[in-house]
Each structure stands twice: as C-alpha cells, then as structure tokens.
Amino acid sequence: MNVETNKRQHKEQLYQLFARIATAMANPHRLELLDLLVQAPRTVEELAQEAGMSVGNTSQHLQRLKQARLVTAAREGVYIRYRLADPVVARLWLQLRTAAGQQLAEVEQALDAYRDRRHEFEGITAEELMTRLDNHDVILLDVRPAVEYETAHLPGAVSIPWNEVAHRLDELPGDKTIVAYCRGPYCVYADEALSRLAAIGRAVARLEEGVAEWQQAGYALA
C-alpha cells in the first residue's frame, strides 16, 4: 500500500467518524430528545412522557445517541438518567436549528403553524429585559416544567409552569409587565401562558430566548 492510498483511507475514516454524529442526529425523535436534555437531565420514562413516545422507543433512540457519545447515562436506583455528554452537543443542536431556519423557508411556515399566536405578543430583547429588570418594572416568568427551572434558569426569573399560570395569578403583581420565556423560539409554552394572562388584561411580552440561547449569547444563568 503506497503512502497516498494510506492517507486516503485515514481521511475517509475521519469522515466516517463525523458521519457517525450526523447519523445519530438524523432522526426527528432523537433531535427532540436532545432538545429536552438541553433543558435538564431526565430519566427514560420522563423523556418518553415529554416526547409522546413509548419507553421502549425512547430507550432505543437514546442508545443511538449514547453510541455516538452525544449523551451519557447514569443509574439512579431503578432508573437511568440521561444527560448531554458535553456542552458542545447543545451548541451543535442550536447551530443545526439555526442553519435549518436560514436555509429552509419551510421552517418558518411550520413554526407559524405550531406557534399560531406568536405574532400577537410584544417581543423583548435580552438587553431590554436586563434594563427593565434593573428598573423593577417587569416580572420574568419561566413557564417550563419545574425540573428545568431547577436545573438552570435566567437570573431573576420566577417559576410558574405554563399549565399552572391560571391558578397562580395572585403570585404575579398586577402593576408590572409579565415577560415569559420557555425553551426558546421553537417552544409554545410561553405563548400559552401569555395568552391566558393577556385574556384577563395583563400587560405581557415574550422573550424568544431560552436558557440555551441565553447562554450561547454570553449571558450567565442562575
């Protein structure tokens, strides 16, 4: 075997390894599992419930992700808890999502269909949010499940899961704008919460960023 042939084989091996990552991610269910794990570590059962899949199918998808070393698993009693193997995996997912949004017009169309009320609410930027938090004229509301808030959240945020907002209105001062966020721009939970608040006359705004986008932009998490 000559030197050039040997180098070619090693180069192809490199691309095969790169393809292992791409192949592991090339499934919509596995991408959703990664998106959930960006928010918080979870057991197979918790992931299955969140993703609307059977425990068996969820476990199979997680094994594919684990084989590609995108996730790790640790036993906790009778349960196995999964988490992202490294922060670079979260960044890879965000970059993939960004590329799809820029290159595929269908992404915006699908998002409009999924978040069909997203254009009804005032948007607020991260910079404006921080200024208004300093001025104490807004309440920042994290409407994700409590386990995600407990793992990491935006500084100053209070936790009321989106499906509890209607029953916990007395926890939200009536003289301040309520800014809600959830898992980022492809999450509908904040829209659901803001719809309920706007319906009773509360001043509301939506922060598109979630914890992953916030951290990627260079801001600290609590």
Residue pLDDT, tens place only, 128-156: 999 999 999 999 999 999 999 999 999 99
**What b/e readout covers 90-110, taking b as 16+ CB neighbours within 10 angstroms?**
bebbbeebeeeeeeeeeeeee
pTM of the model: 0.91
Q: What are the pLDDT digits (tens) for 158-210?
A: 999 999 999 999 899 888 999 999 999 999 999 999 999 999 999 999 999 99
Yes or no: say if 40 and 147 are a contact pair by the CB < 8 Å rule. Answer: yes
Q: Tell me the C-alpha distance between 82 and 32, whole Å.
A: 14
Q: Tell me the C-alpha distance between 29 and 81, whole Å.
A: 18
- In this structure, what token pair is assigned to residue 67? 């084989």
Active site residues: 182
Q: Tell me the percentage of the chain whose pLDDT exceeds 70.
A: 99
101 lies in a domain?
Answer: no
159 lies in a domain?
Answer: yes
Give the range of the structural domain holding residue 79, as residue numbers without chain letter.
Answer: 3-91
Model confidence at 23: pLDDT above 80: yes
148 lies in a domain?
Answer: yes
Please report, for the domain that includes residue 72, its CATH number: 1.10.10.10
- A 10 A CB-CB count for 55 gives 13
Element (H, E) at 47: helix 44-51
Choose one of 91, 125, 156: the last residue of a domain.
91
183 lies in a domain?
Answer: yes
**Residues 134 and 199 reside in one and the same domain:** yes
